[in-house]
Amino acid sequence: MDDLDDLFAQARAGAMQPSDDLTRRVLADAERLQPKPTAFAPRVTVRQSEGFWAGLSRFFGGGFSLAGIGSAAVLGLFFGFVQPSALMSMTTGMTGADTLDTLELMPGVDALLTEE
C-alpha cells in the first residue's frame, strides 16, 4: 500500500520531540547520578617534631636497641682503659703481641698499599 508508505514518511517527519522540561529533568538526573572524579592527592602525614633522644631511639629501632648499643660502647671503653689481665692474656695468645697498641685486622692489604 503506497498510502501506508506515505503515512510512514509523514509520521517520521512529525515525530514527538522531548519537551524542554523533560530535557532539564534528564540532565538533572545525569548530574545527580554522575560519579564524582576521584582526587589522587598525595597522602601527607603530619608528624610532630621530636626530641634528640626520641629521634635517636627511633633511628636505632627503639629504646631497647639504643640501650644495648650504649651498653656495648661503655663496656668497650671500660676494657680499653682497664685492660684486665685475663683479657690481655687472651688477646696476647690470639695476636702474638705483648701489648695491644696496634692490631692489623687486614694484614694482606699492606702489600697493595706499599709503594715500590
Partner 1 sequence: MPRDSLAEIADDTLLVLYANGDRDAARLLTHRLLPRLVSFAGRMLGDRAEAEDVAQDVMLRLWQMAPDWRQGDAKVSTWAYRVASNLCTDRLRARVRRRTSALDEVAEPEDGAASALAGLIEADRMAALEAALAQLPERQREAVVLRHLEGLTNPEIAEILQIGVEAVESLTARGKRALSAALSGQRAALGYEEAEANG
Q: Using an 8 Å Cβ cutoff, are 92 and 103 in contact?
A: no
Distance, in Å, from the CA atom of 16 to the CA atom of 22, rounded to the nearest integer, reads 12
DSSP secondary structure, 60-92, as one string:
TTSHHHHHHHHHHHHHHHHHHHH--HHHHHHHH
Of 20 and 101, which CB lies nearer to partner 1 in the complex structure?
Answer: 20
Task: Name the minimum Å distance from CB 15 to partner 1.
Answer: 4
Q: Which residues contact 103 (CB under 8 A, 6 or more apart)?
A: 95, 97
Task: Name the minimum Å distance from CB 20 to partner 1.
Answer: 11
Of 4 and 105, which CB lies nearer to partner 1 in the complex structure?
Answer: 4
Of 19 and 114, which CB lies nearer to partner 1 in the complex structure?
Answer: 19
Of 29 and 104, which CB lies nearer to partner 1 in the complex structure?
Answer: 29
Task: Name the minimum Å distance from CB 38 to partner 1.
Answer: 9
Task: Name the minimum Å distance from CB 42 to partner 1.
Answer: 20
